[in-house]
Amino acid sequence: MKKITGIFLSMLFAVTLAACGAKAPAGEDVKEETKTEDVNDEKMTEEKKDDKTSAKTDLNVFAAASMTESLEELKAVFEEENPDLNLVFNFDSSGTLKTQIAEGADCDVFISAAKKQMDELDPNSDTKDSDITIDPDTRFDLLENEVTLAVKEDSRKDIRSFDDIKTDKVETIALGNADVPVGQYSESLLKNMGVWD
């Protein structure tokens, strides 16, 4: 049984290119030499920057698509505080990410939008369905999801709550797919209200 652990290292090696120039006219040797030294100093500084970048460890984060904006904003802050790490994101539906992980994709951190997909990778869960699993000791709740009723801004139907779904005010409902958490939450909500059928 393989567990998702470890950090995958991706090294990039800087290639040093030597600068070659034509011989300077007489009397300009000193200037040209100084310029060459300055250029070489700049190149060495750039190479040092490249070496620092190449020495970073990639941290593969599989996260629900709903986390895209938040995680992209946090990336710069995280990498500044952890200069040896480079966050590599894979955003998709939690179901798709879970499948990719179960099939052996390189993943260090899984941020699911629902408990279901996490449970399916948890070796301590009754619903585990993969030989590749998360480390249950690292699992914790980060955020909460909440089903929200969204109504078109220009709607004149005065829809104010989920109870209005039971009335003639609502003609059409759009839901997320059943393989993504928002679709599962919505289905559960409508079933509990007795209006799923």
The reported pLDDT for the residue numbered 61 is: 97
How far apart, in Å, are the Cα atoms of 152 and each of 25, 64, 109? Answer: 75, 25, 36
pLDDT at 4: 41
- Please give the pLDDT value at position 39: 54
Predicted confidence at residue 85, as pLDDT, reads 96
Please report the pLDDT score of residue 88 as a whole number: 97
User: At 123, is the secondary structure helix, strand, or coil?
Assistant: coil
- What single string gives the DSSP state of each residue in 134-158? --GGG--------------TT--S-
What type of residue is 194? G
User: Distance of CA 127 to CAs 36, 109, 116, 123, 133, Å?
Assistant: 66, 20, 8, 9, 12
Q: Is 42 helix (H, G, I), strand (E, B) or coil?
A: helix
Kindly list the structural domains of the chain, giving each domain's residue range(s) and its CATH number in brackets, ordered by start.
2-9+56-138 (3.40.190.10), 146-197 (no CATH)
Strands (E), the chain: 2-3, 8-9, 57-64, 85-92, 109-111, 132-133
Q: What is the pLDDT along the chain (197 residues), one digit of tens a residue?
A: 444 432 222 222 222 222 222 333 344 444 444 444 555 555 555 555 555 556 899 999 999 998 999 999 999 999 999 999 999 999 999 999 999 999 999 999 999 988 889 999 999 999 888 888 889 999 998 887 778 888 988 988 999 998 998 898 988 888 888 877 788 888 888 999 998 88
